[in-house]
Amino acid sequence: MSEGVSIFAVGDPAGAQLNAAIRRTLFVLGEERSEVWNGVLQAANALRWRRMTQPQPRQFQTQQPLIDDIVRQAKRLRNLVSDGALLDLIAEAAVAVGETDSPAGAVLLQSIEEVGTDGCVVVASKAAARAGLASWLDEIGATVLVPSELDTVASTAETSYVVAPPSFMPSSVVTAPMTPEVTFVMPAWFGNRSLPSSAFGGHAEGQIVIKSTVHTIGDTTEPETAVAEGKEVADVYFPQPVWGTRSSGEREPTSDEVEACKVLLAGGLGLWLDDGDRIRSLDPKQPEGARVGYEAVKGIVPGTYLVLRQGETERGAMYDRAVIALGARARGILATQARWKARLDERLQLIGSRRAMTELERLGVRSSGQVRAWADPRLICPQRDADFALLLDWIGEPSHPTYGNAITLRRAVYKASADLRKELESAVGRADLRALERDGILHLDLPREGFRGMIVARVLAKAPFTEIVSRHHVRVPFTDGSAQWLD
């Protein structure tokens, strides 16, 4: 409160050139621009974001493929659009960024050296930014954290150097600081220098107001192509996916289809995620041996790490192994499974899934929203036993032996899944988790036949709506270009 917050606004001519090129393009094209611009603008925006949040020297950068993609797309589009000069601005600015170090990096390094590595911490915007900064600052012994880890800061640290504009960081970095001093290091070309405020601040008596002092450093001259102040530009600095609109309409899925949400993953991958109960995940922060677990499907958010099998769902593989383990009992169990699922499918075809959800909810089935998913042959039964009993009664299926058979099959799947988890934990223990944080994707080497194609991938974004897709496409990773340059 006594010192306030310092903001180092560092001149960055190359970054300013890229920022001006993007904003000029957005201003000239307006909100009604053609979709052909989305690819190059997404890539350019991602490069600008990295310039802002990862100012390490070029030898520690991994941005060249991104720059090459921008130049390639600009060349390809030049004959398709009438505003070729805008493409030239973006491509030239991208190349300039690749040829120069960010001056903000030099300012950050000098600041760290002045107070000593024991007297400060560096706060990165995201895990990917932390990995990039750490690849550089590890050499001098500096500590790099993300905001959620600030409670681990040593008591000797006096200053937090936050490498991002204040508006992109959680308010707690300022309103509940873990060091006596907080300094933001950001490019001068980003004009918004306002501090984030507590969500409760506006409702509190005697609201605490934290002042900021801006220190302008270096060449802050704006390029001639910069959009004049006061002009409206629909600019979003954080890399954003382009979702479009739902194409499935209002129809209900057929027996071979399912409602699924599109999830974008690191490594240029996508995934159709259904409304099942859970999916295998990994938490790198947990101790060795406790990193692999499950995450509720509803709890999947950007930053979650999913453990997936390439080319096929893990669910199918676990089901097949469970059936083999059941031996002679499998035939009778599969017969009752097929029978009750056929009855469920008949009821869904007759009344539709929406009415089915309503009726089951009225009966007390807590997970009634997953009724369509239960018709999947590989999804054993509802997670809650009471829900399964109510479901069987609703479709007119005798409880014996169907109920007991499903529980037996589910236990066998759990056993197969537990065995796989042990192998995954072992593979994760051998893997480089720093590379996972940096790249967002990790290929696991499992000795088990059929499971050598396991990956861990970070969730980058989740669509705000569902689509109707083939049941066979659910939970199977696929290449998706729109995920390529998301942070």
- Say whether pLDDT at 292 is over 90: yes
Least confident of 26-35, 229-238, 386-395: 229-238
- Say whether pLDDT at 236 is over 90: no
Cα pseudo-dihedral 51, 57, 59, 64, rounded to 10: 20
Write out pLDDT tens, residues 315-355. Answer: 778 898 899 999 999 999 999 999 999 999 999 999 998 89
Residue 23 DSSP symbol: H
Write out pLDDT tens, residues 177-224. Answer: 889 999 999 999 999 999 887 665 555 566 667 889 999 999 999 898
> Among 87, 317, 111, which residue's Cα sits nearest to residue 215?
111
Q: What is the model's pLDDT at position 316? A: 78
Average pLDDT over every residue of 429-447: 87
- % residues pLDDT > 70 (the chain): 96
Tell me the average pLDDT of the chain.
90
Least confident of 66-75, 316-325, 478-487: 478-487
The residue ranking higher by pLDDT, 131 or 185, is: 185
Q: For residues 426 and 423, what is the distance between their CA atoms, to the nearest angstrom? A: 5
Write out pLDDT tens, residues 376-399. Answer: 888 899 989 999 999 999 999 999
- Output the CA torsion sign for 139, 145, 151, 156: positive
Least confident of 3-7, 217-221, 480-484: 480-484
Q: What is the model's pLDDT at position 353? A: 87
Q: In this structure, are residues 277 and 383 in contact, taking their beta carbons and an 8 Å threshold?
A: yes
Paired tokens of 104: 């903000």
Residue 281 amino acid letter: S
Q: What is the model's pLDDT at position 400? A: 95
Question: Quick one: pLDDT band at residue 278, thresholds 50, 70, 90?
Answer: confident
Give Cα separations from 399 to 243, 334, 405 (angstroms): 44, 15, 10
Paired tokens of 326: 């059941």
Q: For residues 448 and 440, what is the distance between their CA atoms, to the nearest angstrom? A: 24
Average pLDDT over every residue of 52-66: 94
Q: With residue 309 as reference, give the H or E element that holds it.
A: strand 305-309
Q: How far is CA 18 from the centre of its chain?
A: 25
Write out pLDDT tens, residues 82-107. Answer: 888 999 999 999 999 999 999 999 99
The residue ranking higher by pLDDT, 384 or 483, is: 384
Q: For residues 302 and 462, what is the distance between their CA atoms, to the nearest angstrom? A: 7
Domains and CATH numbers, the chain: 5-217 (no CATH), 257-314+427-483 (2.170.16), 318-412 (no CATH)
Q: What is the model's pLDDT at position 451? A: 66
- Say whether pLDDT at 283 is over 90: yes
Q: What is the model's pLDDT at position 200? A: 59
Write out pLDDT tens, residues 250-277. Answer: 888 887 888 999 999 998 899 999 877 7
- Say whether pLDDT at 453 is over 90: no
Question: Quick one: pLDDT band at residue 21, thresholds 50, 70, 90?
Answer: very high
Q: What is the model's pLDDT at position 407? A: 96
Residue 270 amino acid letter: G
> Among 304, 281, 303, 307, which residue's Cα sits nearest to residue 126?
303
